Copies of this chain bind each other. A is one copy, B any other.
Amino acid sequence: MKKIGVFTSGGDAPGMNACVRSVVRSCLSLDIEPYGIWRGYNGMIAGDIRKMVSHDVSNIVQRGGTILKSARSEEFLTKEGRQKAYDNLMEHEIDGLIAIGGDGTFTGANLFGDEFEMPIVGAPGTIDNDLYGSDITIGFDTAVNTALDAIDKIRDTANSHDRVFFIEVMGRNSGYIAIQSGIGGGAEMVMVPETSTTMDDVIQTLKKGRDSQKTSSIIVVAEGDEQGNAHEIAGRVREHNPDLDIRVSTLGHIQRGGSPSAFDRVLASRLGLAAVEGLLNGEKNVMVGVIDNKITYTNLKLAISKSKPLNQELIRLVDILSI
């Protein structure tokens, strides 16, 4: 293997730049030529591919977003699109790919790897932490800290006014951000897609809080909770408790940005090197991850099809800590 292409795709996550930097420098230190592919699969199809040098990734380890830009590609879903992409890679004599992204990115990578002779290693970059094959994904720790910082700020004002706050965090199919920011933020309750919570549970929790003289309450809601979004849930609680001063805050896109945390920078750096070494060692169509602190490679098909269960210990913790 002589030339490796790297790209970012799907929703961006803090730490993607640290991972790109690690891929580029790991290549250079192992005598491989690194190529950047801009705007994910779109750039592969359009031929937006350039050789990278060490200096291209200087001073980016601390930056959110991705210097390679990211996009979702309709065209890559077609056979013709993928053929164009392959032809462009061939033109640059690229003989291995590293895809940094999440579920959608790896679904594309898996298709591509089945059709063409092009080894691909995926690196899990998604704030949702919902990928099987890695205990934790690049961007998750930063997103949790951003959510937590917001919850800390909201608690200030909740306490000052004796209010109930419903705070919606990201996580369409997964409650990871919700559960960790909820525990860290001292939330009275956390509502996640993985467990079913009834409206009655919510109302009981708020009642319990008032009975024990708590003057304010915070309930963290993952955006994918089966009870609806935070506004809908708050609306129903308001009907039952018209006397409560209830507010809603949807944290939104701030969770995707920001300078990556130490954890994310180190994780991204480790996975970038491991992705390069994986390709050199003959790995193909796998996702690199960290399981029990060890670097592992999981088949892409598994990574995109199996779901990663939420830690039951954490769900129990929320209940215990809000006593």
- List A residues at the B interface (Cβ < 8 Å): 8, 12, 14, 16, 18, 21-22, 25-26, 28-29, 54-55, 58-59, 61-66, 69-71, 135, 141, 144-148, 150, 152-157, 159-162, 165, 180-181, 183-186, 212-214, 247, 249-254, 256-259, 261-263, 265-266, 269-270, 273, 292-293, 295, 313-314, 317, 319-323
Query: Which B residues are in CB contact (< 8 Å) with A154?
Result: 253-254, 257
Query: Are B161 and A262 in contact, with the CB atoms below 8 A?
Result: no
How many angstroms between the C-alpha atoms of A251 and B247 in the bound complex? 13
How many angstroms between the C-alpha atoms of A323 and B61 in the bound complex? 14
- Cross-interface CB contact of A141 among B150, B249, B257, B263, cutoff 8 Å: B263
In the complex where A59-B159, A152-B62, A254-B150 touch, is A321 in contact with B22 (Cβ < 8 A)? yes
Nearest Cβ in chain B — how far from A185, in angstroms?
7
Main secondary structure of the interface of A (DSSP, over half): helix
Query: Which B residues are in CB contact (< 8 Å) with A28?
Result: 323
- Cross-interface CB contact of A249 among B22, B63, B153, B252, cutoff 8 Å: B252
Query: Are B183 and A265 in contact, with the CB atoms below 8 A?
Result: yes
The chain B residue sitting closest to A55, CB to CB, is B213
In the complex where A153-B256, A154-B253, A162-B69 touch, is A265 in contact with B14 (Cβ < 8 A)? no
Nearest Cβ in chain B — how far from A297, in angstroms?
15
Which of A14, A59, A184 has the most chain B CB atoms inside 10 A of its CB? Answer: A184
Closest 6 CB pairs of A and B: A153-B257, A64-B156, A156-B257, A292-B292, A65-B156, A184-B265
Which of A135, A160, A212, A261 has the most chain B CB atoms inside 10 A of its CB? Answer: A160
Chain copies in the assembled complex: 4
Nearest Cβ in chain B — how far from A104, in angstroms?
13
Nearest Cβ in chain B — how far from A323, in angstroms?
5
The chain B residue sitting closest to A161, CB to CB, is B70
How many angstroms between the C-alpha atoms of A292 and B266 in the bound complex? 17
How many angstroms between the C-alpha atoms of A144 and B266 in the bound complex? 11
Which of A155, A156, A252, A269 has the most chain B CB atoms inside 10 A of its CB? Answer: A156
Nearest Cβ in chain B — how far from A177, in angstroms?
10
Query: Which B residues are in CB contact (< 8 Å) with A292?
Result: 292-293
Query: Are B266 and A186 in contact, with the CB atoms below 8 A?
Result: no
In the complex where A55-B213, A261-B261, A269-B183 touch, is A165 in contact with B321 (Cβ < 8 A)? no
How many angstroms between the C-alpha atoms of A68 and B146 in the bound complex? 28
Query: Which B residues are in CB contact (< 8 Å) with A253?
Result: 153-154, 157, 165, 247, 249
